[in-house]
Chain A
Amino acid sequence: GAGVSQSPRYKVTKRGQDVALRCDPISGHVSLYWYRQALGQGPEFLTYFNYEAQQDKSGLPNDRFSAERPEGSISTLTIQRTEQRDSAMYRCASSAGTGNSPLHFGNGTRLTVT
């Protein structure tokens, strides 16, 4: 596709529910990243993939958070048993993976846990 696509754009869920956030990267991009961003702050790293392999998941806050990219393209970030503190903008980004390749960001999913 022309850019990184994330869905849904907005998600409101009740505390305790599970949510799945989807990311469709730019076609051919090797690397896919998930970030979380609070208003007025910088993106906070969660996890990233090269192809289908999860290279680093050190930023995932706890074991309620997981991500997968089974075929090396589309990725899903899943949050189980959501809590109010999970409310934030979740951003996906992809990169061609070569040295100075920048991140191309999607428009994000704004998650609100009530």
Chain B
Amino acid sequence: AQTVTQSQPEMSVQEAETVTLSCTYDTSESDYYLFWYKQPPSRQMILVIRQEAYKQQNATENRFSVNFQKAAKSFSLKISDSQLGDAAMYFCAYRRNYGQNFVFGPGTRLSVLP
């Protein structure tokens, strides 16, 4: 079974600085998809960014970017110019293929210090 690991239960970053959240996963598949979700105190689940495993180029969405290392099975999230509104739980998720289950990591709680 696929597993997703987030080794940092908590992280903090100074406002306007850059922070990187780590995620590793275990799979024997070559075709899959990876996602980062944000869960603020309101407990909504908000998609931050996604990556297709067949794409070598790292995905970017404004201040958010990923470092996807397929061989290492690593999928880290970089947040640049951190803002107070970035404070949240961040979950990494893996999906094997069309119609398959999404597997979530345990999450990293990010605090942004003013």
Which A residues are within 8 Å of any B CB, using their own CB? 30-31, 33, 35, 40-45, 48, 50, 55-56, 59, 89, 91, 93, 97-100, 102-105, 107-108
Contact = CB atoms under 8 A, between A and B. Distances in A.
A42 B101 contact: no
A71 to B, nearest CB: 18
Interface of B: 33, 35, 37, 43-45, 47, 50, 52, 89, 91, 93, 97-99, 101-107, 109
A78 B107 CA distance: 27
Contact of B43 (A33, A103, A108): A108
A103 B50 contact: no
22 contacts: A30-B99, A35-B104, A40-B89, A40-B109, A41-B106, A42-B91, A42-B106, A42-B107, A43-B45, A44-B104, A45-B102, A45-B103, A48-B101, A89-B43, A91-B45, A93-B45, A93-B102, A98-B98, A99-B97, A100-B33, A103-B47, A103-B102
Given A91-B45, A102-B50, A107-B44, A50 B33 contact: no
B48 to A, nearest CB: 10
A99 B109 CA distance: 28
B99 A42 contact: no
A18 B67 CA distance: 46
Nearest to B102: A103
Nearest to A41: B106
A105 B44 contact: yes
Contacts of B102: 33, 45, 93, 103
Given A30-B99, A40-B109, A103-B37, 19 more contacts: A33-B102, A40-B89, A40-B107, A41-B106, A42-B91, A42-B105, A43-B91, A45-B102, A45-B103, A45-B104, A48-B101, A55-B99, A56-B101, A99-B97, A100-B50, A102-B35, A103-B45, A105-B44, A105-B45
A17 B37 CA distance: 34
A55 B101 CA distance: 9
A59 B1 CA distance: 12
A56 B101 CA distance: 8
A93 B35 CA distance: 14
